[in-house]
Amino acid sequence: MGLIQKLRRTLRPAGKTAQAILRWKRFSFNDAPPVFGNSKPKSGSHLLLQILNGFTQIMPYRYVNADPIRTIKKDGGRRTMDSVAADLRVVPSGIIGWGYVEASPENVAVLCQPNRVNYFIYRDPRDMLVSQVFFATDMHGEHGMHEYYKSLPDFAARLNVAITGIDRDGLKMVSVKQRYEGVFQWLEQKHVMCIRFEDLINNRDITLNAMLDQVEKTGYRIPTPREKALSVLVDAINPKKSHTFRSGKTGGWRQHFNEEHKKLFKDVAGDLLVRLGYEQNNDW
């Protein structure tokens, strides 16, 4: 990170807080409930982040945290469960947090309370895999799979590895079935609204209204009229502003999965898509 970027990152909280004070004409931001947005990587986290930024315009929050809270470190190592939970506990009042955290007992104990608002976004595993391969190969040179993916002859070979996972020569990536074990753990939690990426794209207004309802389930009443609030959130959504944006579409996997990929996916993942509700059976 360059000096200018570091300076901006340092000054950002003060600037955002000043904007919030002017917008809401207050110095205290303790009224609205704590909000945390969560995701698995390449499953719509930046779309969710844009919506959470929209929240700061319709409810008295200071700003959305610039950095995500992660279970996996950038070098691929795992943080301790206690350290992740500690980060969740210290998100300041009036600031919206987000990240990529697992449903560990420690995290659940912090987040899953009736006075908190939690969103977890997930995506069709097939689209997630395609997105992950493109991201690791073409958009993020520091990704742990970048060099290996580049060494493979084509996208089809990379997609095979994304489906099966890999554990050799110092490289370790779990299979698609193992990736989604964490999704099911969040789906089982109370006080967490689980959102399909596809619903935010294809059933946007219904899903955004449900997200606002989730806030008000805590007993807090959003001060912005619902029609205006919905309009603000719609305007906040702009996938092309995300540095990880590629297509922002659903069902793109059909352009990349050949018959061999489909068979391999079914062999590895079993009834994963049926359990998630993306298919009625395995005859896709």
Are 26 and 108 a contacting pair, CB within 8 Å?
A: no
Residue 243: predicted pLDDT: 47
Q: How far is CA 149 from CA 26, 152, 172, 176, 209, in A?
A: 51, 5, 13, 16, 40
Does pLDDT of 42 surpass 50? yes
* pLDDT tens track for 186-202: 999 989 999 999 999 99
Looking at per-residue pLDDT, the higher value among 79 and 226 belongs to 226
* pLDDT tens track for 162-183: 999 999 888 888 999 999 999 9
- What residue spans define the domains of the chain? 18-123+181-241, 126-178+247-276
Does pLDDT of 227 surpass 80? yes
* Fold (topology level) of 18-123+181-241: Rossmann fold (3.40.50)
Rounded Cα gap, residues 36 and 119, in angstroms: 6
According to DSSP H, which parts of the chain are helical?
Answer: 3-24, 45-58, 81-89, 105-111, 125-134, 146-151, 155-164, 176-179, 181-187, 197-202, 204-216, 226-236, 259-269, 272-276
* pLDDT tens track for 44-66: 999 999 999 999 999 999 999 99
Token pair listed for 237: 């959504």
